[in-house]
Structure 1
Amino acid sequence: MIKAALLSKWHVHAVDYAKQAQEQQNLSIEAVWDEEKERGDQWAQELGVPFEPDLETVLLNSEIDAVIVTTPTISHKDVIVSAAKHKKHIFTEKVLALTVEECNEILAEVEKAGVQLMVSLPRLVESYYLYAQEALDKGWLGQLTMVRCRMAHNGAVASADHPDGWLPAHFYEREHTGGGAFIDLGAHPIYLANRLAGTPQAVMARLQSVFHQDVDDQAAVIVDYESGTLGILETSFVSGGSPFQLELYGTEGSILIEQNELRIKSSHLNTKDWVKPEEMMESLPMPLVQWVNAIEKGEEPTITKEDALNLTLVNEGAALSEKEGRRVDLQPIKNSLAR
């Protein structure tokens, strides 16, 4: 049995991960820590486990094998590095860290400790992504020329029940988040496009503040990939009714995905019409399940450190692009780590 501690209820997905953990027969929640004592104590009572106000005490506990990290994004590096140094397996909400340099510090400690690290990038296990990847690998689209992905909701839009929107107010505090819509919700378009298009080469970003001047609450980012593919990534906290969309365009075909519905048109099929596949690939296990299987059975996860690094690389480049109002070549960011 893997005994885990929950580290913070700061992120909106903290409750989801706690529920997923409770559903695993070989994983048990043993303790809660939180930066805010009242929030953490209440959560611990709801879960029926002890609340520990001191993080170091949690990490020093030899009975704790693993931690689930949903702290403020700005705290990821320090919390995860400390957990690794204490030989704890780590599951964390995206993003891994704010800079590639911080990511590499984390990965070095994880490798040294010999523990399992999983970053939650859940759309990489969905059947529509797996079908799109297979279509690319089999050449059904020819050469991939463009990827467009949009992930948006209305979390920052005022309503009668939520005058400031349904997202927590701290999602707009840069000192905790390190960014706004793009670094959080925009992570999904980033890691999907990275997987489909390859290594990101350059970024041009527009991170716009509509209601919250400290951070962006909508963004549009163009990514150049080494493969020659162009990525168009969109996200928003201020879009009502916006569906999830993933589009792939190639020299010999296209794929359109809206929500979970997929259509393909390809010169390799026996029709010139759009086709909805009769059978889709089965989804892979969720990231938390893959993490547990890696710890217990030594199974290799499908979500990799390269996924985490390239996610942060695009985020870091986008922040610099917005700040300086220019296209940012990502190679210097990677080169600076070698100096």
Structure 2
Amino acid sequence: MNVALLSKWHVHADDYARQAKNNENITIKVVWDEIAERGNKWAKELGVPFENDLIKVLEDPEIDAVIVDTPTNLHKEIITLAAKHKKHIFTEKVLAFTVRDCEEIFTVIKENEVKLMVSLPRLTENYYLYAQDVLDKGLLGKLTSIRCRLAHNGAVPFEGNPNGWLPNHFFNKEECGGGALIDLGAHPIYLTNRLAGSAKAVTARLQKTLGHDVDDNAVVIVEYESGVLGTLETGFLSNGSPFQLELYGTEGTLLIEDQNIRLKSKQLGEGWNVPDQLPETLSMPLNQWVSDILVNAKPTLDENDFLNLTIINQAASLSNEQGRRIEIAELTTESVEV
């Protein structure tokens, strides 16, 4: 299938271009970018044409699908436009800023019978699959709390780079809708959502430690309908911070720190257990998307994952702005108001 790359705004755009080139069923045909100079340069690097007119790209009958890496505030407009032109859509997280916007995107996707995928890659990783399996087998008893942390030093200044190694536009609130939480924090959010279920309420603190327009350090507490408490941590100011996913239950504990995994369960006797083998990783979201388009293979990621990610982000933003606990029902009620 023929694919158009829409923008190199996001830091993962090159990664998706690489994944597309490595997929035998994809041919990259054209690049469009809201910044022509950047798009032209990228198109030359990839050896494909650059097109300055997005509508021409979307009206091209040879283009089957698009990979969206635009500023997040353009997602809704560009994704719905692509869907109305019958193009399948793969997009960087998050899908959109609000529940209402996500629901409107889903409606257009269904009306035009195209396939949508949002990049939530850690739901395909072996450690997540192992954690899910441990839960499904009841080895932790009743799950009571989850802590998930993912942080890096992308905003820590160094010589010649006062904003760190992240691009300057990652601190543009209008384009991004937020900072560390909405970007890097997406991973702890969607992992914890999957493991804990539907969210009930959110309390968040989004700090602007270095004075940017967006948060560079954040903690979110999520109350889930299941009774689980989720503590989600992220930031752009941590040097050497490992990825951590911790699950605590009435009969056991599972600790994941980067590649170090250990499980303690009453059902397995005393002491810690290290798994001999982890489940096989699943296909990356982009490859699942292609299989869904070509052979109707059902992806392991779906609309609930995409929507629930936005729900937590929207609630966290409101909680931080208003200094209070936000009930998820407030967002879902708002989305159906006429």
Instruction: Give the TM interval when normalised to the shorter protein.
Output: over 0.9
Alignment of 1:63-78 (within 5 A): 63-78=62-77
**CA deviation digits over 1:134-191, x for unaligned, max 9?**
1111101011000000000000001225332000000000011010100000000000
Q: Structure 2: how far apart are the matches of 1:172 and 1:336?
A: 28
User: Aligned to 1:306, which of 290, 304, 307?
Assistant: 304
For 1:338 and 1:171, how far apart are their aligned partners in 2? 31
Tell me, in whole angstroms, the C-alpha distance in 2 between the residues paired with 1:95 and 1:112. 22
- Percentage of identical aligned residues: 59
Q: CA deviation at 1:242?
A: 0.4
Shift of the alpha carbon at 1:39?
Answer: 0.2
The 3-state SS of whatever aligns with 1:182 is: coil
Aligned length: 337
Partner of 1:123: 122
The structure 1 segments of at least 4 consecutive aligned residues displaced by more than 4 Å after TM superposition are none
SS at match of 1:181: coil
Q: Measure, in 2, the Cα distance between the counterparts of 1:242 and 1:320.
A: 27
> Which letter does structure 1 place at the counterpart of 2:274?
K
Moved more, 313-322 or 156-165: 156-165
Gaps of 5+ in 2: none
**1:164, 1:232 → 2: CA distance?**
27
Alignment of 1:37-116 (within 5 A): 37-116=36-115
Deviations 1:249-300 (A, max 9, x none): 000111000112211100111x311111001100000000100110111100
Work out the CA distance in 2 between the residues paired with 1:310 and 1:116.
19
Show the 5 A alignment for 1:186-335.
186-269=185-268, 271-335=269-333
Contact kept? 1:172, 1:212, Cα under 8 Å: no
Structure 1 range deviating more: 153-162 or 219-228 = 153-162
Whole-angstrom distance in 2 between the partners of 1:212 and 1:128: 35
Any idea what SS the aligned residue of 1:219 has? strand
Unaligned runs of 5+ in 1: none
Q: Matches of 1:262 and 1:294 in 2, distance apart? A: 32
1:83-115 deviation digits (Å, cap 9, x = unpaired): 000000000000000001000010100011111
Q: 2:32 & 2:17 partners in 1: Cα distance?
A: 13
**2:19 alignment partner in structure 1:** 20
Deviations 1:9-36 (A, max 9, x none): 0000000000000000010100000010
* RMSD between superposed Cα atoms in Å: 0.8
| Partner SS state of residue 316, structure 1 | helix
Is 1:167 the equivalent of 2:198? no
CA distance in structure 2 between the partners assigned to 1:54 and 1:225 by the alignment: 45
**How many angstroms apart in 2 are the aligned matches of 1:84 and 1:293?**
18
Q: 1:263·1:276 contact (CA, 8 Å) conserved in 2?
A: yes
CA distance in 1, matches of 2:317, 2:59: 36
Q: Distance in 2 between matches of 1:7 and 1:88?
A: 12
Question: 1:184 aligns to what SS in structure 2?
Answer: coil
**Aligned-residue offset at 1:336:** 2.0
Matched-pair contact (CA < 8 Å) for 1:140–1:252: yes
Secondary structure of 1:146's partner? strand
Q: Contact conserved, 1:90 with 1:117, CA < 8 A, in 2?
A: yes
Q: How far 1:123 moved relative to its partner?
A: 0.3
| Counterpart AA for 1:208 | Q
For residues 45-78 of structure 1, give each alpha carbon's deviation from its aligned partner in whole angstroms, at most 9, with x where no partner exists: 0000000011111101110000000000111000
2:121 aligned partner, one-letter code: P
| CA distance in structure 1 between the aligned counterparts of 2:263 and 2:169, rounded to whole angstroms | 41
CA distance in 2 between counterparts of 1:323 and 1:305 reads 27
The 2-side partners of 1:233 and 1:129 are apart by 16
1:155 alignment partner, SS class: coil
